[in-house]
Structure 1
Amino acid sequence: DMDHCFFNQASIPTSTQNNNQRKVIQYIPHADDTDDKNGHGTHVCGTVAGHKSSNGVTGEENSDNGVAPNVKIAFMDVGETGEPYLSIPSDAQLLSTGRYRSYDENAHIHSASWGTSVTDDNRENANGYTQRARNFDNYMYQSPDFLVLVAAGNDGKFNQANSVGTPATAKNILSVGAHINDVDNMHKIAYFSSRGPTQDGRTKPDVLAPGDSLTSASAGKNCGLSQKAGTSMATPATAAAAALVRQYFKEGWFPQGVKGKGSEIKATGALVKAVLMNGAQWVTDVEGGGTTVEPYDNNQGFGRISLTHSLYLAGKTAALLDVDEGVVEDGEDKVYDQTIVTANGCAYPEFRATLVWTDEPGIAYGRNNLVNDLDLLVTRKRNGTADVDYRPNGRLLKDSVNNAERVIVDEVEEGDVFEITVAGANLATDEQSYAIAMTGCLSGVSYTAPVNPVSNTSDANDSKTKFIVIVGSVVGTAILALLM
């Protein structure tokens, strides 16, 4: 709803990308150019980037603004009012929304609040590695700057396994489930949130975000708000968090946690994904009960996103962050060393390392869709002796199925040394690029202990930098691209 104050601007956006617009820089009416009374597209866009404006020129501070209010939106409408099914264009056209300019002017994040509903009749296909899932993987493989986020789906009632629907079954995208939006119950997965695994055994969803009773923009009301629930709501919240991670690196917050102290980094999609997954926190229950929730299971994946645990802000968050982007050849090992330092006041109890790589697309409907297999191994040295090896994703042995791997080590001590190995275990190509994120009381960077700890939001949100997100949703729905 372009009349809503969250999106108010001097002129109506067209299908031609115009980055000078205040908020919506492109509107492609693929299905139609209206939102229905349900206001799905208006709501998801408000979550990711809503920014109240009275004059259509300047934004205003408001507690109801979106998670990343300075993001700009490229929008594709794929839902026709009154019609039950979506009108989806070709995958290439869909994913190119907001990406018709130079690198710095293009969208780097795509948020898709739509997907295939999974039933008993279509589960084998809809929950599989479809041609669309393959196309999404291929687009990201060919565009390493790009990160696509897809709603896992709302077919998880009665704790139904294998209910994540394509294209959320793709490897390289970030599949988003929902948890309860309540401080006292944020450890609970929303009862409707779709569950994994995929048909080829990969863990989905990847992460969770608030998706129950989210308040955002309401269509047909100038500054009105409404509450909605669904993984459609969780996905734009996560896309906005991804935008803040990109901003963190772009504005030089890394590694000292102070804006402008570091060099600009043009983060890849794999790096943004690694940082978000590295900081994700466990949930322990499902709304309504009925099942046991375990780390890395197909209810929660890596857990609920938490920028507080993903990014280091000097004096505000507890753990230092280190990252790298590299390339490994078949049979090669890349090794990183991290030493735990607590004498400076750092008291973070864990060491975490997360490896993510954007894999070459597999074969549609294949049963083993990991093409290049990398392995993450963390070895602890205490008092000069290597005493424990840690394998990823809660496994006793290596993971040869997923292209995201994380190790969490609890109860670290001063002087512990961690040797982190990224191994090119079994590559079908000559080499594979990757991103790794590590957090803890790490040596090598000055540490400022938290004085006024932040909540689960990033201080990078105060920037005036403009980003573009691609949003996709249903009736009155968007394909949403974030420009940053």
Structure 2
Amino acid sequence: MKKNTVKLFVLALALGSSLTALAQTPEQRAEIVKHYDLQKNKELYERLKLQEDESYERALELAAIKGWPLEMKKKGYTSTLVGVTEDDQPIYIMPYNDGARKTARVPAVQPGGIFALNITGQNMIIGVWEPGSVRTSHNDLNGAVTVMDGATFSGPSDNNGHATHVSGTMIGRGVSDPAAKGLAYSATLWAHNAQNDRSEASARADQGLLVSNHSYGVDFDIQPAWKKGAYDVEAASWDDMLFDHDYYLPVFAAGNDRVNEENNIIVGDGNAKNVVTVAACNEVDPYSGPGSVQMSSFSSYGPTDDYRIKPDIATQGVGVYSCYDNSNSDYATLQGTSMAAPGIAASLTLMQQHYNELNGNFMMAATVKGLMIHTADEAGTAAGPDHRFGWGLVNVTSAVQLISADNSATTAVIEENTLSQSQVYTKTVTAANSDMLKATISWRDLAGPINSGVENLATPVLVNDLDIRITKDGETFFPWKLTSGLTAVKADNIVDNVEVIEIDNPTAGEVYTIEVTHKGVLENFIPQKYSLIVSGVTDLASVSDKQIAKFGVYPNPAQDILNITLDNSLSNSVTQAVLYDIQGRVVKDFGASKTNLDVSSVASGVYLLTVNVDNGAYTESKKIVIK
């Protein structure tokens, strides 16, 4: 378990200008990769690549028979055939297309900003996948883009300059026009064609990539009605891959398909649980409250069919000025969620850079996603998240403030924890003032049940359902959730893998208890990693936290006999004790009323022991090693 409490912001800022930018050096990327099972991920890559290749070959075969075009010109861009669905329908992908920096509140943490920081993306790498290719010779991109899959720039207006514009928003140097400087203008890009994106993304994650941008999606106009808001095979495939890559976070554009005020129209990859899906709003400068954030006329609205909060976040996607590809000094102003997504990818990269400079390691993807959501500014007509802006307007300055408070005893908490079967995590905190006490949990979830053709299927796709609660003097505070009426309420959330509690008027100086639990049984009894972010607290030096486990085992490792001890809050009545292997298969059922278990016949290895006490009143699992 990695645990950090955040440092007093002012102190960290005083040191900020002297920090050395280590960031994503080869050594840092190697450190990220050490957390992965590379053999398992190699098999995953090969499986994804085979699926993509077979899908594309089938698409070409059917195109020849049915006369499908390989490319179609639509809305000024090229829609490209890349595969077929499970029922042999064509899959076409197409782009979703100085204010972007201000809207994301980036200038304050860069040279010339009020905090004397230098967070510009030094040594950081951002991945980009695009239907077209980047003009790598552009003055703002020259020497900063590595083409990773051999995709070549075909000349001016390669997919209407989309890839070049998106790249400039992230890392443009502002050489020919400083007004076009990207958000992370010292970072570099790993560029790819969008064909085979999932398998390539898996391979890049295994090379230590942290963040990537995907400003494209399936062609909305040819999607069947059931696909809108659905958790389909594309979304599930991303979740499956990302569950094994704790540090890698892809960012997707929500789409530009809203004509009036249609809801539930995000399709494909953007409905995945473990990605960030981005809405496009107008420029915001300055932010003066929710009313200052105006939605674009085109950004696709959520939620998903199971009422998960999508999109996740909003930033400027209207009137974005960036590199263009007619010449090496060309610029253009474009709009679209395609223009918003790279602003978020760059923002997440800056957050990772700053965290690394202060802590010497990077945040897990669930942590940085949770941090982005936790520090977002309110947008929309009502409090809480919604299906238009998601959790609100991104705020890099607020995220940096929270990170900069790392290791303080007075302001906030960032933790990366693990929750085992039936465990309860608690933390007591003291409210700093009466403004707001806020707590967020975020976790990577396994791929859920896939919708194969049912319109508006509301069955939750969440696999491991974690819960956060805050209590004080018998009162319980709940997280936000979205109702079927598309209003945000504070209640039990059974669909989202991010939960946020906001206490608007806490009592300053009073103690509140944060509790993290889970419902049911964790998949295969495997402990779930999660991230916890808390702000609006003080006196963290006296904070206490613990994992409440009500039974113990000894010796562990065991050879012949394994003994069970029970907490005083339980009776001594063991209803059942079962040993499982790590695939969740029953190895041995010891039956009831036994606290001394004979494991002499069990093969050496790692197992999970599940103990049921008092006829199901309490169940918990522990990892056991048999010698």
Q: TM-score, normalised by structure 2?
A: 0.57
Partner of 1:28: 149
Secondary structure of the residue that 2:468 maps to in structure 1?
strand
Matched, 1:435 2:531: yes
Query: Alignment RMSD, CA only?
Result: 2.8
Matched, 1:358 2:468: no
Q: Find the partner of 1:304 among 384, 393, 407.
A: 393
Matched, 1:376 2:468: yes
Q: Which amino acid aligns with 2:193?
A: D
Contact 1:46 1:217 (C-alpha < 8 Å) held by counterparts: yes
Partner of 2:285: 183
In 2, Cα distance between equivalents of 1:147 and 1:442: 31
Deviation, structure 1 residue 396: 4.0
Describe the shift of the 1:214–1:420 C-alpha distance in structure 2 as closer, same or farther (beyond 3 A).
same
Partner of 1:39: 161
Partner of 2:192: 76
Alignment of 1:189-268 (within 5 A): 189-252=295-358, 263-268=359-364
In 2, Cα distance between equivalents of 1:439 and 1:360: 28
Matched, 1:7 2:141: yes
Q: Which amino acid aligns with 1:278?
A: H
Alignment of 1:63-462 (within 5 A): 63-78=179-194, 88-89=195-196, 91-93=198-200, 95-96=201-202, 98-99=204-205, 101=207, 106-119=208-221, 122-183=224-285, 186-252=292-358, 263-284=359-380, 295-312=384-401, 320-341=411-432, 349-365=435-451, 367-379=459-471, 381=472, 385-393=473-481, 394-426=488-520, 427-430=522-525, 431-444=527-540
Deviation, structure 1 residue 241: 0.8
Deviation, structure 1 residue 99: 4.2
Secondary structure of the residue that 1:395 maps to in structure 2?
strand
In 2, Cα distance between equivalents of 1:141 and 1:35: 39
Bigger helix fraction: 2
Aligned residues: 386
1:391-443 per-residue CA deviation (whole Å, 9 max, x = no partner) reads: 33343431001111111121334203222111122322322111111222433
In 2, Cα distance between equivalents of 1:314 and 1:139: 28
In 1, Cα distance between equivalents of 2:269 and 2:377: 24
Q: Which amino acid aligns with 2:157?
A: D
Deviation, structure 1 residue 219: 1.3
Larger mean Cα displacement after TM superposition, 388-397 or 155-164: 388-397
Contact 1:207 1:303 (C-alpha < 8 Å) held by counterparts: yes
Q: Which amino acid aligns with 2:257?
A: D
Larger mean Cα displacement after TM superposition, 147-156 or 411-420: 411-420
Q: Which amino acid aligns with 2:442?
A: V
Partner of 1:482: none
In 2, Cα distance between equivalents of 1:328 and 1:363: 23
Describe the shift of the 1:304–1:313 C-alpha distance in structure 2 as closer, same or farther (beyond 3 A).
closer
Secondary structure of the residue that 2:279 maps to in structure 1?
strand
In 2, Cα distance between equivalents of 1:235 and 1:294: 24
Contact 1:35 1:41 (C-alpha < 8 Å) held by counterparts: no
Describe the shift of the 1:320–1:310 C-alpha distance in structure 2 as closer, same or farther (beyond 3 A).
farther
Larger mean Cα displacement after TM superposition, 305-314 or 206-215: 305-314
Deviation, structure 1 residue 160: 0.8
Larger radius of gyration: 2
In 2, Cα distance between equivalents of 1:279 and 1:92: 32
1:333-358 per-residue CA deviation (whole Å, 9 max, x = no partner) reads: 1112221235xxxxx82221111110
Partner of 2:107: none
Contact 1:32 1:77 (C-alpha < 8 Å) held by counterparts: no
Contact 1:67 1:237 (C-alpha < 8 Å) held by counterparts: yes
In 2, Cα distance between equivalents of 1:109 and 1:265: 15
1:275-330 per-residue CA deviation (whole Å, 9 max, x = no partner) reads: 00101122125xxxxxxx663221122111112332327999xx943110111123
Q: Which amino acid aligns with 2:186?
A: N
Q: TM-score, normalised by structure 1?
A: 0.73
In 2, Cα distance between equivalents of 1:313 and 1:424: 27
In 2, Cα distance between equivalents of 1:283 and 1:328: 32
Describe the shift of the 1:210–1:416 C-alpha distance in structure 2 as closer, same or farther (beyond 3 A).
farther
Deviation, structure 1 residue 176: 0.7
Contact 1:378 1:391 (C-alpha < 8 Å) held by counterparts: no
Q: Which amino acid aligns with 1:233?
A: M
In 1, Cα distance between equivalents of 2:293 and 2:174: 31
Describe the shift of the 1:294–1:440 C-alpha distance in structure 2 as closer, same or farther (beyond 3 A).
closer
Q: Which amino acid aligns with 1:416?
A: E
In structure 1, the gaps of 5 or more residues are: 10-22, 55-60, 79-87, 253-262, 286-292, 343-347, 446-484
Contact 1:377 1:420 (C-alpha < 8 Å) held by counterparts: yes
1:89-123 per-residue CA deviation (whole Å, 9 max, x = no partner) reads: 26212x1364464xxxx311111101124359623
Taking only the aligned residue pairs, the percentage that are identical comes to 24
In 1, Cα distance between equivalents of 2:333 and 2:530: 38
In 1, Cα distance between equivalents of 2:404 and 2:229: 44
Secondary structure of the residue that 1:355 maps to in structure 2?
strand
Contact 2:478 2:492 (C-alpha < 8 Å) held by counterparts: no
In 1, Cα distance between equivalents of 2:404 and 2:227: 49
In 1, Cα distance between equivalents of 2:464 and 2:216: 28
Describe the shift of the 1:314–1:361 C-alpha distance in structure 2 as closer, same or farther (beyond 3 A).
closer
Deviation, structure 1 residue 25: 2.6
Contact 1:196 1:204 (C-alpha < 8 Å) held by counterparts: yes
In 1, Cα distance between equivalents of 2:540 and 2:430: 9
